[in-house]
Structure 1
């Protein structure tokens, strides 16, 4: 960063510190989420392998927390601390429960570091655990192993919200039990306390129900579509046995996390109907779906189906002690209900005016059944349509309006809006991102989210239980995909959910984040570095014309000092500091990295080759949507991919991409790297929006048009009828001087595969053109 910017940041930070008074020293405590109150005074305390963690004899809860803290510190700091019971003898770490502890609730704690030792006090075990997690962070600064010196500090802390959640979708892709535990461990370290576990959907039924074994015997397995690469796709899936679930629920409870299961109804039912067709509307058995999107299959509304689902809920309640049971309620397309004489007759018998009211009745039946067993129903905001039982809680995902409406009606709410808190939204629009949806939801946007809508008054705001981020896994088939999507946005979520609103500070959060990134690396968590990754930008056409490139560097968070090299070496603290735009002669490879104040890299080194062929090429992430639809999705060649790349940015509504501002002087040909992708998308009523482009052959062509998608045709490249999943089309491009947009339109039938563009290259006249056969 420039010297001026550094001084400005320091000045602004100083003003913020003065505004916070004694709490202005928070930022020097590398703890996320930021505690509610922090003050510093006195001399530090050194923790070594001789420092005992001491708990009172007979306090099993404190002992559990002490053992957990000791094991975590040994694993992440290589510092083994003995755990002892009884009176304190000498300097020690004391964990103690005290009913009179000066905190507001069961999750609050105080933590004091003095030259005589460290003391964590809480009313309840949950508060003691969270205090221990704060202490663990103090014991694990960004660098070093073994003994550690902790500055004297007094912390008084409790959460802002009672519901601090993460939704994990295990229905679309199955995660092994140990992978679920990895997520739970990180939630605990971030003081998140609700794991919303999405266990059933159209693509899979993941929970063993002993009364109905085919729910997992059939419903837990699917066969992905064949994208044309040859060979038979392999059936895949999986499910959690009841023993698996008991173990995971217990594992989470030990970390003070409540697991709330979701059993989707009345929609998202295709996997269940595939197992037991009689609980569907049509009586026909569909396959377990290999597609994403909104499906037509609903549960029937007859007494037998209701009894079936209540039997399922009996086994669910036996496995999950949570107060809340999530019943979904979202995206239930009513076409099957509308077309069924039996359903319509049932609706008339119940004197219901429409299908929305029927869904409300259906959800009400489940709510009454849960209430009779001492549980509470929670569902997505569609359950508001047609009215709700008074005890129902609403999770608002279609923006925040559902939460506003529900809170004004007196219902408790959890804020979980799309796209703001959807972790399948990409973290940036960088060309090197992996799978997900656009627009991007950055680290900063997560940090800025406030779970209390301004439209609520103080009384209504009391219905806001908290907030939750949702990790949908349609395009996240592995734990590494999930980790890339979740971390470090989980840090921003945790602070937004825990820390008082007036105490949150984006720049202070960034100052504390490098230490957390080091903890991720120590635990082999595959976090994304998108917020800090260097972007290397040039004016392509100016560089092609002049043979020189004016290079600008930046990163999304505008944090860290950017260093670069142009000699092929890896950049570091001794490399040139980026201050202003610099000029290089083509060809040159520019490498850049953002460094923290201590010289630690905040992201992996990024590099960019600057030569004429590279400047004339665009990768998938550098191509824009064609006019008419802003839907953007980044996918991999197969839905069960095991690596993070390659990826292809597509629009499922229009198989068409724009190459902006192409310098066409001297260009004679075009080369396009293409992947054949499965068109495995259920679009329900939006299917009518899919654009079909007129073709001249049965398999279609890639047509290149000038300036717009209705412009003059510059090239027509026939698509192969069949063949490998990946191929290259190359052919002559009609001569055209100047700078123009190029529209690349696939005219293939919309009943067949999608085609993703990996790279487009413009070839000059002196490069031999080899037309695609």
Structure 2
């Protein structure tokens, strides 16, 4: 029995009629228990390894004229659709049920983005939008460093509210096929019902307004005013909701920190001496200058108490802080949250992938221009080792210097043995460059390569996650 999230090769045999007899019996009981017209049958993340190796499944594909295992999955779903139809029920499945051909009356739940919902609507099927980008309430909603352990990701209240369920590119008739949206709370990391409530609310309130109101009438500023009154209702109902609405967000530019609250009327107080903020701490009025490596803490306050959790961010000042750089391959999914995240003075943490710059099967090679010859004696950076998430240590790293940005001299190298890194952790790399003085600095971090057999994601290119290149 699995104790962690995972996708496993063991699936129902599509070539054995006893499989469908068994599932028919199960569905008969489910229909008796649940009178609603829809039955969700899953259908997602179904590996094809067992089917491709099974003689019965191969015979089924041959007998039914199916060209591959994807069409076998479609055959499987269509048989389940017929079992439900005789009981006057309709099938819902995750967007993988599109693979190999969609069952005629199936409703698709689009979770891997919006493409599944769009494809279903254009095919004349109904769809429910539930993309992981906006509708997964098991993702973190506040600073992971001070939040209960979650599966990862980051989906704030504002991001949920920004969602529009009707995708662009649909005709008016196709748009009618979008039935609505759904918030998902997967509970692998939630041991108590109170934690489920904490993860669901108030994000469920935001999604409710998204699906119950016209796009033109939605207004985030107005929502921030009204949701604070709704917190009183949740309190009165005993709901253990998250106070992440009262988080302070910070941005760092030109050696100044700008603080922001969701409601501009809320009061922010901060410290730069490492102590927690209090009612006696300075009130935030304008961007805060940072002249040395500093840990800044801030929180939203009422007249008598803090309303949410205190945020804490360490800002590193070094010779590359705030400098721009170029890379051969720019990240698209994991950008670090900044165009120049590798030199923004903020380090990533293990719980939050969005703070890291990540590429799959590609090297990271930032080229930094100091603007003039600059002396430096040490280069440091962090990488993530999380093999269960396909994130591996680099194969090696090389530091190079150049006077003109074209001709480079190798200054330091280091190789890594992936077997030396077993625990999920952030690892720090230091490379000494004594006597170096160059205008251009290039740091080439080479990816591990293909994930070995027997490891999570085997035969796929490994991910490489790097953050904050520090120059001293």
How far 1:317 moved relative to its partner?
Answer: 3.8
- Is residue 510 from structure 1 mapped to residue 224 from structure 2 by the alignment? yes
- Is residue 377 from structure 1 mapped to residue 91 from structure 2 by the alignment? yes
Query: Mapping of 1:338-487 within 5 angstroms?
Result: 338=52, 340-352=54-66, 355-407=69-121, 409-423=123-137, 427=141, 441-453=155-167, 455=169, 460-472=174-186, 476=189, 486-487=200-201
Query: What residue is the counterpart of 1:678 in the other structure?
Result: 387
Question: Per the alignment, do residues 466 and 722 of structure 1 end up closer, same or farther by CA in structure 2, a change over 3 Å counting?
Answer: closer
How far 1:468 moved relative to its partner?
Answer: 0.6
Query: What residue is the counterpart of 2:346 in the other structure?
Result: none
Normalised by the length of structure 2, the TM-score is 0.70
User: Helix, strand or coil for the counterpart of 1:563?
Assistant: strand
Task: Report the Cα distance in structure 2 between the residues aligned to 1:705 and 1:484, rounded to whole angstroms.
Answer: 48
Does the 8 Å contact 1:451/1:466 carry over to 2? yes
Query: What residue is the counterpart of 2:433 in the other structure?
Result: 733
Task: Report the Cα distance in structure 1 between the residues aligned to 2:320 and 2:187, rounded to whole angstroms.
Answer: 28
Match of 2:25 among 311, 315, 318: 311
Give the root-mean-square deviation of aligned CA atoms.
4.9
Question: Per the alignment, do residues 653 and 567 of structure 1 end up closer, same or farther by CA in structure 2, a change over 3 Å counting?
Answer: closer
Gaps of 5+ in 1: 1-220, 223-236, 238-289, 540-548, 635-644, 682-689, 694-699, 765-773
- Is residue 647 from structure 1 mapped to residue 356 from structure 2 by the alignment? no
Match of 1:593 among 273, 288, 299: 299
How far 1:448 moved relative to its partner?
Answer: 2.8
How far 1:569 moved relative to its partner?
Answer: 5.8
Question: Per the alignment, do residues 292 and 633 of structure 1 end up closer, same or farther by CA in structure 2, a change over 3 Å counting?
Answer: farther
Question: Per the alignment, do residues 570 and 719 of structure 1 end up closer, same or farther by CA in structure 2, a change over 3 Å counting?
Answer: same
Does the 8 Å contact 1:653/1:691 carry over to 2? no
User: Helix, strand or coil for the counterpart of 1:465?
Assistant: strand
- Is residue 604 from structure 1 mapped to residue 318 from structure 2 by the alignment? no
User: Helix, strand or coil for the counterpart of 1:604?
Assistant: coil
Does the 8 Å contact 1:676/1:755 carry over to 2? no
Question: Per the alignment, do residues 607 and 388 of structure 1 end up closer, same or farther by CA in structure 2, a change over 3 Å counting?
Answer: closer
Gaps of 5+ in 2: 337-348, 457-461
Question: Per the alignment, do residues 705 and 373 of structure 1 end up closer, same or farther by CA in structure 2, a change over 3 Å counting?
Answer: farther
Question: Per the alignment, do residues 557 and 486 of structure 1 end up closer, same or farther by CA in structure 2, a change over 3 Å counting?
Answer: farther
How far 1:574 moved relative to its partner?
Answer: 6.2
Match of 1:560 among 250, 266, 272: 266
Match of 1:715 among 412, 422, 429: 412
Deviations 1:175-222 (A, max 9, x none): xxxxxxxxxxxxxxxxxxxxxxxxxxxxxxxxxxxxxxxxxxxxxx13
Normalised by the length of structure 1, the TM-score is 0.46
User: Helix, strand or coil for the counterpart of 1:537?
Assistant: strand
Task: Report the Cα distance in structure 2 between the residues aligned to 1:556 and 1:657, rounded to whole angstroms.
Answer: 35
Query: What residue is the counterpart of 2:16 in the other structure?
Result: 302
Match of 1:668 among 377, 381, 384: 377
- Is residue 529 from structure 1 mapped to residue 244 from structure 2 by the alignment? yes
Task: Report the Cα distance in structure 1 between the residues aligned to 2:142 and 2:362, rounded to whole angstroms.
Answer: 22
Does the 8 Å contact 2:329/2:364 carry over to 1? no
Q: Looking at CA atoms only, which structure, 1 or 2, has the larger radius of gyration?
A: 1
Does the 8 Å contact 1:571/1:605 carry over to 2? yes
Deviations 1:272-313 (A, max 9, x none): xxxxxxxxxxxxxxxxxx674685856333212222332333
User: Helix, strand or coil for the counterpart of 2:81?
Assistant: helix
Task: Report the Cα distance in structure 2 between the residues aligned to 1:672 and 1:450, rounded to whole angstroms.
Answer: 38
Q: Which has the higher contact order (CA 8 A, sep 6+)?
A: 1
| Equivalent residues, number | 435
